[in-house]
Amino acid sequence: MKSVSRKIGKYELGRTIGEGTFAKVKFARNTETGESVAVKVMAKSTILKHKMVDQIKREISIMKIVRHPNIVRLLEVLASQTKIYIILEFVTGGELFDKIPENLLLNAYGNLKVLDFGLSALPQKGGDLLHTTCGTPNYVAPEIVSQQVLGNQGYDGAAADVWSSGVILYVLMAGYLPFDEFNLPTLYKKINAAEFSCPLWFSPELKLLIHKILDPNPKTRIRIEGIKKDPWFRKSYVPVGNQEDEEVNLDDVRAVFDDIEDKFVSEKSENIEGGPLVMNAFEMITLSQGLNLSALFDRGQDYVKRQTRFVSREPAKVIISTIEAVAKSMSLKVHTRNYKVRLEGIAANRAGQFAVVLEVFEVAPSLFMVDVRKAAGDTLEYHKFYKNLCGKLDNVIWKSSEGKAKSSLLRTVPSV
């Protein structure tokens, strides 16, 4: 059995709950208050190598300055000799893309929490135009497409954000994207022409607002002030009070980035090799969003999330070897370290890499949970991949038909 204890300052780090190109997000607990938090971990060497110091510093500063009930709160920033740790509010309700768009989270009560200000910009003096080409292709405004093709003419960031918000609104109401093509030139052509249609169930008022937002001309496109006055928007609308007057201290951000190679907090890690990580009851309760753990084990394979999990009674080494064999049969590259496997391949649309990470945890004697999460690529593609993977791992997944046996074993989960 392998026991791992890792502590950053007053935070005890747990399992990885998200993974991207430049960072990992881990579950953690404030040992002084018992509060659950999410910790975004970034390697200083990666930030310096890719010359991202200013960009990351801007992202963190914006997240700390912006105070709103529907925006994930940044609590503080810490640094060790090798890493930067961004301490965030822990949001338990999953990702809205499990229902529809990414980087929009839900808390335990189903309330929206906006995440990721990585390519944000603070307002510039004199209303300067932005020149950075960024954003997911399906959501970007026509002027950003033109910026990519033609170069430095610049664009109004606020107007571009309205367009992207309109795409999200369309997806929320329709269940699919207004502009969706595998071929990028065709996709950009449709975006530039605002070539889309509204489904029959859109009300006339909603159709009118959507067309005002998805106006390809940024100068005539409706602004935020106009949206807030729109009859459809105002129907049943209850303004949410923000916390703009709260004093924000950016000293921790400056301390981390003004001298990125200094050491500020202790970083302790104790490992005893031998088996997969043991997940304690506290972490399991946060996974299940309550004291009822049955949802962790009885969730159907048809309900796929960005981070999903299944349970197995097979030995941990058998689980890992089976995953490796299945992945190779799917022509995926396999990277295994201890009881963690990263699978890599080319995305279906050939636009980039697709990657998934699987990690085995021991949750009770002879009972293992396999945590599966998307590391790179399209979420819809991940949904399809997960269902296909589960079909091929049928011999190691503990079947729901054994539900009666499961409930008795749950009582053997070790206490905190």
Name residue 207's amino acid.
K
End-to-end CA distance of the chain: 17
What integer is the mean pLDDT of 38-54? 84
Cα–Cα distances in angstroms (integers) from residue 294 to residues 56, 161, 273, in the given order: 39, 41, 30
- What is the dihedral sign for C-alpha 283, 287, 291, 295? negative
User: 225: which residues sit within 8 A by CB, 6+ positions away?
Assistant: none
Share of the chain above pLDDT 70, in %: 68
Angle at 407 between CA 404 and CA 408, to 5 degrees: 95
Most confident by average pLDDT, 81-85, 285-289, 376-380? 81-85
Neighbour-count burial of 149, counting CB atoms closer than 10 A to its CB (0-12 exposed, 13-18 middle, 19+ buried): exposed
Helical ranges in 129-280 per DSSP H? 142-150, 157-174, 184-192, 204-213, 224-229, 231-234, 251-258
- Residues 196-229 as b/e (b if ≥16 CB within 10 A, e otherwise) read bebeeebeeebeebbebbbbbebeebbeeeebee
pLDDT above 90 for 210: yes
pLDDT above 70 for 290: no
- The label of the residue with tokens 């011999």 reads 395
* Global confidence as pTM: 0.48
Q: Which of 13-27, 49-63, 302-316, 328-342 has the lowest mean pLDDT?
A: 302-316
Distance CA 46, CA 416 (A): 35
Q: Which of 125-134, 181-190, 334-343 has the lowest mean pLDDT?
A: 125-134
Can you list the domains of the chain with their CATH numbers?
A: 1-93+250-260+270-274 (3.30.200.20), 276-412 (3.30.310.80)
- The pLDDT tens digits of the residues spanning 73-88 come to 888 888 888 888 989 8
- The label of the residue with tokens 């503080």 reads 76
Distance CA 253, CA 293 (A): 38
Most confident by average pLDDT, 111-115, 202-206, 240-244, 307-311? 202-206
Greater confidence, 276 or 268? 276
Q: What is the pLDDT of residue 337?
A: 86
Q: What is the pLDDT of residue 298?
A: 46
Distance CA 39, CA 73 (A): 12
Q: Which of 135-139, 211-215, 369-373 has the lowest mean pLDDT?
A: 135-139
pLDDT-based confidence at 223, cuts 50/70/90? Answer: very high
What integer is the mean pLDDT of 133-149? 70
